[in-house]
């Protein structure tokens, strides 16, 4: 078996990121991880590779372009802007 197991601090050091970022991502369900015992977060070498793939931004796949879906929308800030739109 070639799997290695890492605590969040070890995984963060390996990935050169903060331990909090990894813990928050795991707790929010954004990152794969394992829980042992009473909720101890553990990352395997496969988890770390998957987190790296999930965090990748490839050319032509910018998140803002994908999120907007090509539609334009008017951003309204405050009640005056809404009132101007209505009249």
Q: What is the CATH number of the domain that holds 11?
A: 1.10.1660
Look at 24-28, 41-45, 52-56, 61-65 and tell me which has the smallest mean pLDDT.
61-65
pLDDT top residue among 28 and 1: 28
R_g over Cα of the chain: 20
* Number of structural domains the chain divides into: 1
Domain membership flag for residue 21: yes
Answer whether residue 81 is part of any domain. no
Check whether 69 has a pLDDT greater than 60. Answer: no
3-state helix, strand, coil in the chain (%, to 5): 50, 10, 40
Enclosing domain of residue 25: 1-57
User: Beta partners for 79?
Assistant: none
The confidence score (pLDDT) of residue 62 equals 64
In a domain, 44, yes or no: yes
Query: Mean pLDDT, to the nearest integer, of 24-36?
Result: 95
């Amino acid at each position: 078996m070639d799997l290695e197991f890492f605590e969040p601090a070890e995984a963060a050091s390996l990935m050169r990121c903060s331990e909090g970022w990894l813990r928050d991502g795991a707790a929010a369900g954004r990152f794969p991880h394992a829980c042992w015992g009473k909720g101890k977060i553990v990352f395997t070498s496969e988890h770390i590779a998957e987190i790296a793939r999930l965090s990748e931004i490839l050319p032509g796949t910018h998140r803002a372009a994908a999120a907007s879906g090509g539609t334009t929308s008017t951003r309204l800030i405050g009640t005056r802007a809404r009132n101007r739109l209505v009249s």
